[in-house]
């Protein structure tokens, strides 16, 4: 995710002076990034403390890699949408991003011990 951070920061700056769809799209990208990053930090702490099975760690790693690809695609589609004034690519990329972020968040939640 570190390689995507400069794009997300630039996107956050652009959100302030964007049209309403650009503003909403930018906020979606930034919020999604922040949410998944927070979940992954929690997961990393869980791995250190609980040492879950390698199979669980592998599944989260694969889901995170899929999320990273989706985020990269969504960022590129957003940039193209702003440049070309055509939202169609972004709509598809955003849907894929939301699906992959829901997937990784749900996966991490299944491995999280239940609170009493």
Per-residue model confidence as pLDDT tens digits over 18-74: 578 899 999 999 999 999 999 999 999 999 999 999 999 999 999 999 999 999 999
Q: What percent of the chain has pLDDT over 70?
A: 81
89-93 mean pLDDT: 96
Interatomic CA distance for residues 4 and 60, integer angstroms: 19
Would you tell me how many other CB atoms lie within 10 Å of the CB of residue 94? 21
Given a cut of 70, whether residue 1 has pLDDT beyond it is no
Q: Give the CB-side neighbour count of residue 61, counting CA atoms within 13 A.
A: 8
Cα angle 92-94-96, degrees, rounded to a multiple of 5:
70
Q: What percent of the chain has pLDDT over 90?
A: 74
Given a cut of 70, whether residue 2 has pLDDT beyond it is no
Interatomic CA distance for residues 109 and 60, integer angstroms: 11
Confidence band, pLDDT 50/70/90 cuts, at residue 113: low
């Amino acid at each position: 995710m570190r390689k995507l951070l400069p794009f997300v920061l630039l996107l956050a700056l652009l959100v302030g002076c964007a049209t309403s769809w650009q503003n909403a799209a930018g906020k979606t990208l930034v919020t999604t990034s922040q949410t998944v990053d927070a979940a992954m930090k929690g997961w990393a702490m869980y791995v250190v403390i609980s040492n879950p099975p390698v199979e669980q760690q592998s599944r989260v790693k694969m889901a995170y890699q899929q999320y990273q690809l989706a985020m990269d695609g969504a960022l590129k589609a957003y940039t193209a949408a702003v440049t070309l004034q055509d939202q169609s690519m972004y709509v598809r990329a955003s849907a894929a991003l939301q699906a992959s972020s829901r997937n990784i968040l749900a996966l991490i939640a299944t491995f999280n011990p239940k609170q009493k």
